[in-house]
Amino acid sequence: MLTLSRCNNIADLRRLAKRRLPRSMFHYIDGGADDEITLRRNTEAFEDYEIKPRFLRPVEEIDTSITILGKRLDVPFFIAPTGMSRLFHHDKENAVARAAAKFRTLYTLSTLGTVSLEEIAEASNGPKMFQIYILKDRDLTKEFVERCKAANYDALCLTIDVPLAGNRERDRVTGMTMPPRFTMKSILSFVTHPYWSFNYLLHPDFRLANVVHRVDALGKGAMGLIDYVNSQFDRTVTWDDAAHIVEQWGGPFVIKGILTAEDAVRAREIGATSIMISNHGGRQMDGVPAPIDCLRSIRDAVGCGLELIVDGGIRRGTHILKAMALGADAVSIGKAYLYGLAAGGQKGVEMTFQILKNELERDMALMGCREMNEITGEFVHRRRGEI
């Protein structure tokens, strides 16, 4: 029987999460848009790159630390913003923030989190970033910036690839709503997952804690996720709006959702310090490239003047090494840690971190590198020719 202690890799955590979550919750984590080609490609694309190790080098001590967004992290990966952690475990975002602090890496709280940014600031003494969208209520965006300053957040992240929700057909098939509700269609799945259902009944509070005081659409009852997103997100947002937030914040600033060199250059021009090369986990537009395939062209375009974070598809330590060799400054993880959260709360997230850290340290030794800054382009090539 698969248990948390027997999980050897992220795939095992995914299998355990599938066993522990009602069907709609699991597929909300696991799914993507349309035919899910981009979703699959995010991870499969790493297979197109091969590592070229160097031998007879001293590798007795391995240092996986990096500096990103002005903070020293013990590992080159951190938590990407993902919404509504309460769907997956009753300890919500708090469990993830505590796990990130324990491993001395950065935690990112989503606008659509089920815990307030102030509560996370109190729960974790580790580095923190808040992720924002520019919603129809523009004053709310301004309020987020001021609240993050007051709560001493270290960085701000603006997600730009959601003018409206992608076509996430799995959520329609499973009847996914927020907050979750018991229906004739879903009751069997809830009954066969008693641990999750019991804790949902015991801790029924489900609210988007950072926006509920201004945008209480859920107060009207359960609604489809796509309907909610489309009711709140603003399709008129421009680069000028992003530049205004960069100026208002005045600190480390990430723009998430960039896939082209042109947009990366524009992000640098408006004052962003970092970008997340991301396709939203394959959940927005199907048929766009995997982030790892966009990395080299973006690095060539921006040089060293912009921190690059690869977001999407990370499942192995070797994936992290390939991203770093191709020019990334760090990677972020979303689905991987959500599988851990669903599988075992804070301990499950810690298991995610430990698995990746163990793989990373072992693979660096096998690769012939002791420190992250030693990992350069000469250590990786594409299967069908040099990069």
Query: How many Å apart are CA 278 and CA 32, to the nearest integer?
Result: 13
User: What is the DSSP secondary structure assignment for residue 371, as one 8-state letter?
Assistant: B
Residue among 27, 193, 280, 319 flagged as catalytic: 280
Q: Cβ–Cβ contacts within 10 Å for residue 91, how many?
A: 18
- Say if CB 91 and CB 345 are below 8 A apart: yes
Query: How many Å apart are CA 119 and CA 373, to the nearest integer?
Result: 35
User: What is the DSSP secondary structure assignment for residue 129, as one 8-state letter?
Assistant: E
Q: Cβ–Cβ contacts within 10 Å for residue 234, how many?
A: 16
Beta strands in the chain (DSSP E): 49-51, 66-68, 71-73, 77-79, 107-110, 128-132, 155-159, 177-178, 223-224, 253-258, 274-278, 307-311, 330-333, 380-382
Query: How many Å apart are CA 125 and CA 110, to the nearest integer?
Result: 18
> Which residues 6+ apart lie within 8 Å of 143 measured at CB?
214
CA-based nearest residue to 117, from 69, 150, 161: 150
Tell me whether residue 90 is one of the annotated catalytic residues. no
- Annotated catalytic sites, by residue? 280
